[in-house]
Amino acid sequence: MHIHILGICGTFMGGLALIARELGHQVSGSDENVYPPMSTQLEEQGITLIQGYQASNLDFEPDLVIIGNALSRGNAEVEAVLNKNLPYTSGAQWLAEHVLQKKWVLAIAGTHGKTTTTSMLTWILERQGFQPGFLIGGVALNFGISARLGKSDFFVIEADEYDCAFFDKRSKFVHYRPRTLVINNLEYDHADIFPDLAAIQRQFHHLLRTVPSEGLVIAPENDKNIEAVFQMGSWTPISYTSINQESEWQAKLIKADGTAFEVFFKGKSEGIVQWSLTGNHNVYNALSAIVSARHVGVLIADAIAALGGFKNVKRRMEVIAKIKDITLYDDFAHHPTAIKTTLAGLRHQVGDKQIIAIVEPRSNTMRMGIHTETLAQSLKEADVAIIYQPESLDWDLSALKNYNQAIKIYTTLDQIISCVINNVLPGSHCVLMSNGSFSGLHQRLQVELNYKAG
């Protein structure tokens, strides 16, 4: 079967393409944003990529078209699918029908930490010989790919609450029917499709309704937004996690930056995780992965040992350059809470050394100005906080200064680079935070820092 995918370079759709190829299908796809690392990963698997959407892309009339949620009516290729009466479906539905049926699905949901936790859990299962299938919203460094079919009955998936397609406005995760479900956290996000938090909670409850009574749900203790979902009705056992608090599963920090912590289950010490990741958010992610792995039969001690060899996902505080004693990071930031927790973890790690945070508010929610105050507050740990305001941004960032006078707002990359070069100190940590390519700022800044270093 020849499957053609619209929006193929998105993290979810790209992973889907890899799995379809592994199943033996001929796969092609089109996208407006064909660039690495996803384009490289797909081309290496023999998948044909087409830059841009046009009706002529479908002249060969594929057997099936999978349409991503970024596309809508009026798109030339979407219109061609409908006019030619080609068979089409959403990525989530195709995955459910052709891959996930009869699998033990382990789904990682929540506003933050899905990609990292999914990668952690997959790595733990891999180390124990499970050979799981997986679909991760990023390139897992332990595997070098974002998705695979696997060779067992277990499939680990990043369970996104975003909608499926223009013809299916349910959250993608309602198709997955997990037996093990992690809800990392729950905040207001995706303001382009959800009017308020209650609408998101309703979708999470739809997900909760699909978990069998013999399954397991894992969530942090005392998260009122998640508890409100459980109060709508829950039929599955719940395991709670916490840091330095009483709960069934608990982490006690040995190092304040989260690079070492002791794991407790029902008050009994099970071992110590020592790794390179920082921040309380990653400690919570690790606990969720450990609990999930135990649900399918992995010993707690083995899960802890596996995490010691875990490498984070690309673009999750990934060190992309060290220039003399200046460290440059690439971080896939999409929400103020993620920015805040990431910078807090870095601050614990580097002490009083300079942190320069450079943010591109590119997610739909941030672009709409929903998180004005929280975005400003999220940058408090940075010594220099820079935000990029391109012409295409839908709101005036100057309102951020009402909550954080230290924020610097620039409308060009040249201005940002000049600010960094003029302010950077020896031993500085520069974090570029965007869920896009940041218009090549990463590469340009490396060149300028190298030039300054001489």
**427 has pLDDT over 60:** yes
Tokens of 74: 């009026």
Residues 397 and 185: their CA atoms lie apart, in Å, by 27
With a cut of 70, say whether residue 418 has pLDDT above it.
yes
Could you give the maximum distance between any two Cα atoms of the chain, in Å? 63
User: Residue 161: inside a domain, yes or no?
Assistant: yes
Residues 6+ apart with CB under 8 A from 286: 120, 251, 261, 273, 277, 307
Beta bridge mates, 66:
5, 89
Instruction: Note whether residue 96 is domain-resident.
Output: no
pLDDT, tens digit (0-9, with 9 covering 90-100), for 76-87:
999 999 999 999
- 291 touches 300 (CB < 8 A): no
Give the predicted TM-score (pTM) of the model: 0.82
Q: For the residues 391-401, what does the mean pLDDT come to?
A: 70
Residue 95 lies in a domain: no
**Where are the strands (E) in 110-152, listed by range?**
133-140, 145-148
CATH number, position 70: 3.40.50.720
CATH code at 425?
3.90.190.20
Q: Which residues are CB-contacts of 400 (< 8 A; sequence separation ≥ 6)?
A: 372, 375, 376, 387, 407, 409
Identify the pLDDT of residue 59. 95
Pairing of β 268-274 and β 260-265: antiparallel
Do 106 and 56 fall into the same domain? no
| Angle 430-436-441 from CA coordinates, rounded to 5° | 45
Q: How many domains does the chain have?
A: 3
Residue that the structure tokens 């619209």 belong to: 6
Separation CA 78–CA 110 (nearest Å) = 30
Distance CA 356, CA 129 (A): 41
For 169, the enclosing helix (H) or strand (E) is: strand 168-171
Report if residue 388 sits inside a domain: yes
- Please tell me the distance from the alpha carbon of residue 117 to that of residue 290, in angstroms, as a whole number: 10
- Residues 33-45: tens digit of each pLDDT: 887 777 887 888 8
pLDDT at site 346: 87
One domain for residues 233 and 121: yes
How confident is the model over 393-397, as a mean pLDDT? 69
Q: Reduced to 3 states, what is the DSSP secondary structure of residue 282?
A: helix
Distance CA 274, CA 262 (A): 9
User: Alpha-carbon distance 247 to 250, whole Å?
Assistant: 6
Distance CA 287, CA 242 (A): 8
Among the three residues 307, 342, 358, which one is the final residue of a domain in this structure? 307
- Give pLDDT, residue 370: 55
Token pair 């699918």 in the structure block, residue: 81
Per-residue pLDDT at 373 exceeds 70: yes
Whole-number Å distance between alpha carbons of 21 and 1: 10
pLDDT of residue 400: 74
Cα angle 267, 183, 195 (rounded to 5 degrees) comes to 145
Same domain, 392 and 256: no
Q: Kindly state the DSSP code that residue 213 receives in the 8-state scheme.
A: T
Does position 395 have pLDDT exceeding 70, yes or no?
no
State residue 56's pLDDT score: 96
Same domain, 326 and 303: no
Task: Tell me the backbone φ, ψ of residue 322, rounded to 5 degrees.
Answer: -125, 115
Residues 59 and 109 in one domain: no
Task: Give domain status of residue 371, yes or no.
Answer: yes
More confident residue, 178 or 279: 178
State the amino acid at position 150 in one-letter form. Answer: G
Co-location of 262 and 138 in the same domain: yes
User: Is there a single domain that holds both residue 299 and residue 167?
Assistant: yes
User: What's residue 404's pLDDT?
Assistant: 76
Its domain, for residue 81, covers 2-90
The answer to whether residues 327 and 294 belong to one domain is no
The CA angle 185-190-191, to the nearest 5 degrees, is 120
Q: Summarize pLDDT for 196-218 with one digit per residue, the tens.
A: 999 999 999 999 999 999 999 99
pLDDT number for residue 290: 98
Domain boundary among 307, 327, 344: 307
The domain that holds 290 is classified in CATH as: 3.40.1190.10
Same-domain status, 303 and 392: no
Residue 393 lies in a domain: yes
Residue where a domain terminates, one of 25, 55, 90:
90
* Mean pLDDT computed over every residue of the chain: 90
Angstrom distance (rounded) from CA 293 to CA 128: 10
Q: Is residue 247 part of a domain?
A: yes
**CA–CA separation, 310 and 3 (whole Å):** 34
Q: Are 196 and 210 in contact (CB under 8 A)?
A: no
Q: Are residues 438 and 347 in the same domain?
A: yes
Residues 447 and 400 in one domain: yes
Residue 200 lies in a domain: yes
Using pLDDT thresholds of 50, 70 and 90, give the confidence band for residue 315: confident
H-type alpha helices, 296-386: 300-307, 336-350, 364-367, 372-378
8 A C-beta contact, residue 346 and residue 120: no
The answer to whether residues 267 and 152 belong to one domain is yes
